[in-house]
């Protein structure tokens, strides 16, 4: 009987320790607009000058706080098949030679602005270095979303009200984004992009305006949204496959649309507690 009580006692302690460890697991899911804006997104917005002194000061503050959060891993929107390329660029960054490399290799070329301004190099690399990380993890999985096809189906189906709603929503989101870019600093823009309201708006666009596209015999809208879900689910799958039981804190840094969708997966999985960006900015 004593052995049984002792076994139960030890199992209870182990269970409590397991719950404690799980409760300590935290994720900073940070959604962002693209610092280097190639104009490829549906919502069209002006380019933010990430190289401006004020923006660089904000970046130093933001990445310093992320460093205090101490993520064991940072995941970014970079093709997962091209991890070696990301590794080589990050090693240059750690060595302090990244900027020189970009100037010598890309100055005067079309992709120069990408390597200078992209949020991966400006924020993720900087944060990873301050966190003492040796690697930044690529988790993007490219899939084309046939938005033009959906719009053609809406038009061919005579869904004028739906077409007007889609166009009005895109116009309003573009207008709002550009107003914020003109008014807010970088810290404010990131805080705004990561509110529950912003994530609901991002996710709601697809369900409210795209899935109803077409007649009952055509599921072009739902198919397009399926691809969007699939891409983000693949991305989160890559995160899941990369973390270990020892990774008590991680950071996922993606475009706002991806972050909004992935927030659902994190909540449903119930392994990592999402930490509010504002809370990270308050860490001592």
**Interatomic CA distance for residues 106 and 124, integer angstroms:** 20
Q: Which two tokens stand for residue 59?
A: 């970046």
pLDDT tens, residue by residue, 121-137:
999 999 999 999 999 99
DSSP 47: P
For the stretch 212-249, what's the b/e string if a residue is b when 16 or more beta carbons lie within 10 angstroms of its beta carbon? ebbeeeeebbbbbbeebeebbeebbebbeebbeeeebb
In which residue ranges of the chain is pLDDT below 70?
A: 1-23, 38-45
pLDDT the model gives residue 21: 47
Q: Which residue has the tokens 């660029």?
A: 89
pLDDT the model gives residue 42: 61
**Interatomic CA distance for residues 206 and 200, integer angstroms:** 10
pLDDT the model gives residue 40: 52
123 CB-near residues (< 8 Å, 6+ apart): 32, 35, 59, 62, 63, 253
């Amino acid at each position: 009987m004593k052995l049984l009580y002792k076994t139960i006692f030890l199992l209870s302690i182990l269970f409590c320790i397991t719950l404690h460890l799980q409760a300590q697991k935290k994720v900073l899911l940070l959604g962002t607009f693209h610092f280097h804006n190639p104009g490829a997104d549906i919502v069209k917005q002006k380019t933010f000058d990430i190289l401006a002194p004020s923006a660089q000061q904000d970046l130093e503050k933001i990445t310093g706080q992320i460093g205090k959060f101490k993520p064991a891993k940072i995941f970014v929107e970079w093709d997962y098949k091209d991890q070696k390329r990301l590794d080589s660029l990050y090693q240059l960054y750690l060595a302090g030679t990244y900027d020189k490399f970009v100037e010598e290799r890309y100055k005067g070329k079309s992709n120069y602005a990408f390597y200078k301004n992209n949020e991966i190099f400006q924020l993720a690399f900087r944060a990873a270095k301050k966190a003492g990380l040796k690697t930044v993890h690529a988790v993007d999985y490219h899939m084309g979303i046939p938005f033009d096809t959906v719009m053609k189906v809406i038009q061919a189906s005579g869904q004028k009200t739906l077409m007007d709603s889609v166009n009005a929503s895109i116009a309003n989101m573009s207008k709002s984004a550009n107003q914020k870019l003109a008014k807010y600093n970088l810290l404010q823009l990131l805080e705004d992009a990561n509110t529950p309201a912003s994530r609901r708006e991002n996710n709601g666009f697809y369900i409210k305006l795209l899935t109803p596209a077409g007649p009952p015999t055509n599921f072009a809208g739902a198919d397009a949204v399926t691809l969007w879900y699939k891409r983000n689910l693949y991305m989160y799958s890559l995160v899941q496959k990369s973390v270990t039981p020892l990774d008590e804190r991680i950071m996922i840094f993606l475009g706002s649309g991806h972050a909004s969708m992935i927030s659902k997966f994190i909540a449903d999985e119930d392994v990592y507690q999402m930490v509010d960006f504002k809370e990270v900015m308050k860490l001592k």
